Amino acid sequence: MSTTLTINGASSTLDVDDDTPLLWVLRDVLGMTGTKFGCGIALCGACTVHVDGVATRSCVTPISTLKGKSVSTIEALGATPAGKRLQAAWIKLEVPQCGYCQPGQLMSAAALLGHTPHPDDADIDAAMAGNICRCGTYVRIRAAIKAAADPAAVAPSGAKR
Amino acid sequence: MKSTVDRGGAAQVVVSSGLTRRSFLSLSVALGGGLVVPLIFPVKGSRAAATRSPASATFAPNGFIRVTTDGRISVIIPYVEMGQGVYTSLTMLIAEELEVPISKIDVEHAPADDQLYANPIHGFQNTGDSLSVRVTWTPLRMAGATARTMLVCAAAARWNVPADSCRAENAEVLHPPSGRRLTYGALVADAAVMPVPEKVPLKDPAQFKLIGTSTPRIDTVAKSTGVAVYGIDVRFPGLLVASVASSPVKGGRVVKVDDHRAKAVKGVTQIVVLDDAVAVVGEHTGATRKGLALLDISWDAGPQGQYSTETLVAELAAASKRNGVVATKKGDVAASLATAAKRVDAVYQIPLLAHTMMEPMNCTVRLSRTHCELWLGSQAATRAQSAAAKITGLPLDAVEVHNQFLGGGFGRRAEFDVVEQAVRIAQKVDRPVKLIWSREEDVQHGFYRPYYYDVLSAGLDSSGTPVAWSHRVVGSSIIARIMPRFFKAGLDEDAVEGAYGPYTFPNLLIDYVRQESPALNTGFWRGVGSTHNAFMVEGFIDELAFTAKQDPVRYRANLLCEHPRARSVLERAASLAKWGDPLPTGSGRGVALAFAFGSYISNVAEVSVAPSGDVRIKRIVCVVDCGRAINPDTVVAQMQSGIVYGLSAALYGRITLKNGRVEQSNFHDYRALRTDQMPQLDISLVISSEDPGGVGELAVPCVAPAVVNAIFVATGKRLRTLPIKPEELKRA
Ligand code: FES
Ligand code: FES
């Protein structure tokens, strides 16, 4: 039995069991490896995607639950205004270290800005505590979310390199 | 919560009032069209790819630099990028002397090759010990200067002018008197046939344009857009994937496998049974993980089936009674302990720890009768290469390692157990295969930071000053297994690294007792010996200060006559933390200090402890003197990183065994610090022109001791064993 999914606006028909987690369909079947595997049981956030705009752990999301829904992944994040601002802030603040958790962090952050355009620290804690970063980039992630939420408030740096 | 960063811009201590940032990429550039399809550098490539490139001539005066006639400038970096920023900082070293802007350089992973790329300290290609900058500081600048000198000479010869009338700038050679200029690419053919000069002068540091300036990381854009490729992301046509269950007990064996349900899963192609593991192979990981869960495996646990943490601790406690191999000896500790006005004794213990890098262990193998290719992120590519050669019987040069970005390393990716397992699986599968470990496999089959059981004694004179210090280190030796040439006469130099801190004691004895456990593997864990010993030393010295009824900062400072730089980071940390200012009851500040990896660091932690025993880390002040900082922002990032890594371990980290099996399995019971538990971090860098020290692990050692010392102030309870357990801090 095949399943049809809408991912980043394009539809794909998949010939895999419909209890297959979305994560592995993305990574192994569709070759979209930006979404990462970290724990497999919704503990780390590395696999975060959006399902109808909501941050969702793809490692525990069977594709059977996605009929008629719209999935978007890190590969399409830059196409949205908030995603673009987040990525710009991530780059400007040099957030990533090993970088492995960052697609998931960015997707969680983008979902946060989707419902809370100007998050405070408590909002950031609530939205981001599910995303582990073993490299400890949390300080910069927080600063980058705030910068993306309010680009004008970020003081232009005078330093030239 | 406002964390701060001070990159030491002023002679006075200035802590900025927020995370001030330099302009890395102007926002307008970042917002422009180039973002979604970002700059990608050929980190997937290797020398092989380069030799296939169409460039007709190549100027490669050493193993690190290649310039082709089309003007492409590549650097080959033998130390792997696992988050610590070395692809950028090492490229900066070359670029500074080569006179090429970073933006014009392509960075490549080095191939496995001990001849060209061995770490000069370790003797093999290895990224660890916070050594990458320290061992390349001179050689890579020299490599850049050599290439630049040759290109300048080639231009001078072409123009028939003296070489010293020419200079290099922005990947070109200029002859200012005549206004002539040639690009490096145009000089490749001439430079390629010149003899390589043996010695060339290096720039006066006062002339540095790049070194010491915060520079955007080469990998930031790729890692902010999801296009960076890690070992786990490698794909090519025909590739199968595998999920595995290894024997839950070390030394255990597969007895019987019922695989009929697993085989029936759509997408599963094969079940591979090894002596000590069973793998499910298939078209996608969704299928192989499902198949794995449906396997019914009976194991023979082997001789370690009864082993537990209690067994381990009892073995170590017994070993601590043996005399150790002497590492450092000065004066007469026994006599001075016997005559001291006061004697203090303590046992400190730290638990087994897993690394839990975000990217689970994985390895992709393509095997033929004559060739073996590996794709993975490895801290020790030539160890991976020889492991595969040994299993397949192929000669070393028939094994090609394609190193990738590492989704964290922390020491775990210096091991090659997963390479061996992947190759053994690949031998039974007729297509290439990518083995990915589950998080559970990762937590339960680690090369754990050893459990240490250390015995410390000190004698104080009547003024409270320590006159004798003895520290017996008891635990497994990683050096003996991985770097046996450094294991001399029973002494593990890493295990005793920092065993008396930066302090001077008139009578001193450090000894080491090796005690291995048959039931588990041990390995390097971020911070290595320095992290282990800093916990013991900084806890114990704090005890001595309180025993002597002296201020812990002053007490330490008085013992630092041999390390003035240690004294200045300590005092600066205390001042930034407002050491001595009153705090509410149930709160406390604690300090720790270390000289590690050639750098100095001091942390002050501020904590509060609830009546329930719950510990909240409110703030950590971190002052670091790592000598000359190559990329200062990367140093700051590594301090932020190491503090989080250290806090995770201090608050939660503990691997335990029962019936030979590791009891933890995933992030719910082997926890990592999350953003809602983050303290305020105030990082301050000391400006220095000393040779660079290491930074990748530097921030880890002082975290746990600063925190437990703060808990002592807050609660009066002295914690000598990690992790911190709230139940021990509960107030009635
Ligand atoms: S892999 Fe999905 S939450 Fe960790
Ligand atoms: S950047 Fe390495 S895990 Fe987050």
CATH number, position A97: 1.10.150.120
Q: Nearest ligand, CA of residue A131?
A: 1
Instruction: Report the length, in residues, of chain B.
Output: 732
A132 lines ligand 1 (CB under 6 A): no
Give a yes or no: residue A110 inside a domain: yes
Phi, psi at B133, each rounded to 5°: -75, -40
Q: Is A83 in the same domain as A122?
A: yes
Boundary residue ending a domain (A47, A76, A105): A76
Other CB atoms within a 10 A radius of the CB of residue B560 amount to 20
Q: Is A145 in the same domain as A135?
A: yes
**Residues B637, A140: Cα–Cα separation, whole Å:** 9
The CATH number linked to A26 is 3.10.20.30
Which residues in chain B are closer than 8 Å to A97, comparing Cβ atoms? Answer: 83-85, 637, 641
Give a yes or no: residue A131 inside a domain: yes
Q: Is A91 in the same domain as A70?
A: no
Identity of the residue numbered A91: I
Give a yes or no: residue A62 inside a domain: yes
Q: Is A63 in the same domain as A114?
A: no
Q: Per the CB < 8 Å rule, is B20 touching A155?
A: yes
The whole model's pTM is what?
0.93
Range of the domain at A148: 77-154
Q: Per the CB < 8 Å rule, is B406 touching A44?
A: no
Domain residue ranges in chain B: 12-217, 231-302+361-436, 309-352+448-729
Tokens of A99: 């970088």
Q: Per the CB < 8 Å rule, is B674 touching A98?
A: no
pLDDT digits (tens, 9 = 90+) for A71-107: 999 999 999 999 999 999 999 999 999 999 999 999 9
Q: Per the CB < 8 Å rule, is B35 touching A78?
A: yes
Query: What spacing in Å lies between the alpha carbon of A41 and ligand 1's midpoint?
Result: 6
Q: Where are the alpha helices (DSSP H) in B393-465?
A: 417-426, 439-444
Using 70 as the pLDDT threshold, list the residues of chain A that sit under it: 1, 153-161
**Residues A18, B218: Cα–Cα separation, whole Å:** 40
Q: Is A57 in the same domain as A108?
A: no
A59 lines ligand 1 (CB under 6 A): yes
Query: What spacing in Å lies between the alpha carbon of A56 and ligand 1's midpoint?
Result: 10
ipTM, 2 dp: 0.95
Are residues B631 and B92 in contact, defined by beta-carbon separation less than 8 angstroms? yes
Q: Considering its fold, how many domains does chain A have in total?
A: 2
Q: Is A96 on the interface with B (CB under 8 A)?
A: yes
pLDDT mean for each 10 residues of chain B (732 residues): 64 25 25 23 30 59 90 91 95 96 92 88 88 90 95 96 97 97 95 89 95 95 96 97 98 98 98 98 98 98 97 98 97 98 98 98 98 96 96 97 96 97 98 98 98 98 98 97 91 96 98 98 96 98 98 98 97 98 97 97 98 97 97 97 98 98 98 98 96 96 98 98 97 78
Boundary residue ending a domain (A31, A58, A76): A76
**Residues A146, B393: Cα–Cα separation, whole Å:** 55
Which residues in chain A are closer than 8 Å to B667, comparing Cβ atoms? Answer: 39, 43-44, 132
**Residues A26, A3: Cα–Cα separation, whole Å:** 13
Which of B655, B674, B675 is CA-nearest to residue B663? B655
Say which CATH class B12-217 falls into.
alpha beta
Q: What CA–CA distances, in Å, run from B420 to B161, B312, B365, B383, B427?
A: 58, 27, 10, 11, 11
Interface of A with B in 122-151 (CB under 8 A): 124-126, 128-143, 151
Q: Is A17 in the same domain as A64?
A: yes
**Residues A31, B283: Cα–Cα separation, whole Å:** 12
The CATH number that domain B231-302+361-436 falls under is 3.30.365.10
Cα angle for residues B472, B476, B480 (degrees, 5° grid): 110
Which of B389, B667, B697, B713 is CA-nearest to residue B542? B713
Please list the residues that pair with B246 across neighbouring strands: B277
Give a yes or no: residue A159 inside a domain: no
First-to-last alpha carbon distance for chain B, in angstroms, is 31
Q: Is A82 in the same domain as A135?
A: yes
Residue of A nearest to B356 (CA): A134
A22 lines ligand 1 (CB under 6 A): no
User: For chains A and B, what is the number of CB pairs under 8 angstroms?
Assistant: 247
Q: Is A70 in the same domain as A26?
A: yes
The CATH number that domain B309-352+448-729 falls under is 3.30.365.10
| Closest residue to atom 3 of ligand 1, CA basis | A42
Are residues B340 and B461 in contact, defined by beta-carbon separation less than 8 angstroms? yes
Boundary residue ending a domain (A27, A57, A76): A76
Q: Is B35 on the interface with A (CB under 8 A)?
A: yes
Query: What spacing in Å lies between the alpha carbon of B671 and ligand 1's midpoint?
Result: 14
**Residues B340, A23: Cα–Cα separation, whole Å:** 65
Reported as type and span, the H/E element at residue A4 is strand A3-7
Reported as type and span, the H/E element at residue A137 is none
Interface test with A, best of B31, B358, B640, B643 (most A CBs within 10 A): B358
